[in-house]
Amino acid sequence: MLSNALPRPGRLPALRVPAAILVPALAVSAFSLVPLAFVAWVGVETGAGEVARLLLRPRIFELLANTLLLLALTIPLAAAIAVALAWLTERSDLPGARLWAALGAAPLAVPAFVHSYAWVSLLPAMHGFWAAVLVSTAAYFPFVYLPVAAALRRLDPAMEDAAASLGLAPGERFLRVVLPQLRLPIAAGSLLVGLHLLAEYGLYVLVRFDTFTTAIFDQFQSAYSGPAANAMAIVLVVLCLPLIAGESVARGHERYARVGSGAARMASGARLGRAAPAALAFAGLVALVGVGVPLATLLRWLAIGGTKVWQLADIGPAVAGTAWLAFLGGAATTLAAVPMAWISVRSPGRLQRFLEGCQYYTGSLPGVVVALALVAATVRVAMPLYQTEATLVAAYLLLFLSRALASLRASVAQVPVDLEWTAASLGRTPVQSIAQVTLRIAAPGAAAAFALSALGVANELTATLLLAPNGTVTLATEFWALTGEIDYAAAAPYAFLMVALSVPMTAIIHFQSRRIAGR
């Protein structure tokens, strides 16, 4: 049997968590509960009977069906595309593999609502469920592609050689040997995709597809109906729980690191043969949908607008504000995620899963809910922080903590725990072992976590609209104001600059994923 011939990864040993790691993790998890406490508080003030009435409306069931269908179709589709593209670029003789690998990460540089803007301005009749699925998949599949591609680069080919020696065909080797080892990156990436689908606003407004997030924002924007919006936020929180639980179950307790480099050679690329044209067509189609259409549409609108749309007096402050907030938000989010990332890998258990869930669920909440929770908290408890940059950065931390945590956790999981034990045997304290060994080796993952978080901040819309101090402008808010006026040409420079600012961060994510794998 194959299971007896091939080595199986061992279970992770649960380590004692130092107080210097546990206390910050507890603090971040407690802070992450502020939006949930806000939702619960509004629910109590509204009354159980009224909340039940609001939850049992036909509109809620319509939104629930829309959201569940979106999740059920988009997550598997994004994962399938990501795994197929990753295998082609990392494990086959696909012509131009490095170019296709870069283009596989490139859609992250295009904000999700810019994807919608591009498709809708190109095809004005494009709206509804299938438009939402197409644009969501194009925008978010790199969240799965990047970790899967990095994992494929690290896999020891000796296990596949052993499977081949037992007579397994290439397809069987992939399904029985390679795919099980991709469980962690697929689960983590799919969770990020699911959380973004629950929280996304601008993308679905432009394609005219109603979700809980669009309905929540509409309630506050038009009727300022706190109870109705809060009832929908309760459903969003409930929806994110099975996503987090499913990812936790899929992740399991296995060890994903090894001491040493395994086989001295990289896995040989599978020969595509007659399938090469089909593989190239697939990679080209993914690149066209994910990058080609948005960039071509942007260039078209820039050409139509000419030089008159480049209003530097307005664009300059928006660029500066976006870059500054992206740096602050990315740094704060990455630092906040470090303790939980280590605990998640080194000391799995019920407490760890609870604390991790606290930090993950906020990624499913729309920015408007997080923003209103922080408004309520600052007004009642910390009035000097109301409508300050600190509160805005705190909102970014809550919204993008899941991004940083997923990236850091995967990186820490690649660091053998044996190295920490060795450091401890040489007289290092647990905290010194973590800082001097684990975090140093996991530094590429930290850089990727910073880039992912900063990328999210640079493109964030709803929380920025509600929490930004007076006079603060970003590329996203200015772009949204102009698209609201159906002035696509004037909005194009802001969209183009959002992409331009996002490209370096996307490049960091892509190249760090290759560095983690030693390539």
Say yes or no to pLDDT of 53 above 70.
Answer: yes
- Give the sign of the dihedral formed by CA 214, CA 145, CA 241, CA 464: negative
Say yes or no to pLDDT of 69 above 70.
Answer: yes
Q: What pLDDT, on the 0 to 100 scale, is given for residue 391?
A: 92
Q: For 1-22, what is the mean pLDDT?
A: 55
Average predicted confidence (pLDDT) for the chain: 80
Q: What pLDDT, on the 0 to 100 scale, is given for residue 162?
A: 65
Q: Where does the pLDDT of residue 1 fall: very low under 50, low under 70, confident under 90, or very high at 90 and above?
A: very low
Q: Where does the pLDDT of residue 308 fall: very low under 50, low under 70, confident under 90, or very high at 90 and above?
A: confident
Query: Tens of pLDDT along 202-223?
Result: 889 889 998 888 888 777 766 5
Q: For 410-439, what is the mean pLDDT?
A: 74
In the chain, the amino acid numbered 281 is A
Query: Tens of pLDDT along 177-195?
Result: 677 777 888 888 888 898 8
Say yes or no to pLDDT of 8 above 50.
Answer: no
Q: Which residue has the higher pLDDT, 82 or 50?
A: 82
CA angle in degrees (0–180, nearest 5) for 510-512-516: 120
What domains are there in the chain, each with its CATH number?
Answer: 10-257+279-516 (1.10.3720.10)
Say yes or no to pLDDT of 364 above 80.
Answer: no
The 8 Å CB, 24+ separation contacts for 220-229 are: 220/368, 220/372, 226/42, 226/46, 227/42, 227/46, 227/50, 227/51, 227/54, 228/54, 229/368, 229/369
Query: Tens of pLDDT along 101-158?
Result: 888 888 888 888 889 988 988 888 888 999 999 999 999 999 899 888 887 877 766 6
Burial of 360 (C-beta count, 10 Å sphere; 0-12/13-18/19+): buried
Candidate from 135-149, 379-393, 411-425 with smallest mean pLDDT: 411-425
Model confidence, pTM = 0.76
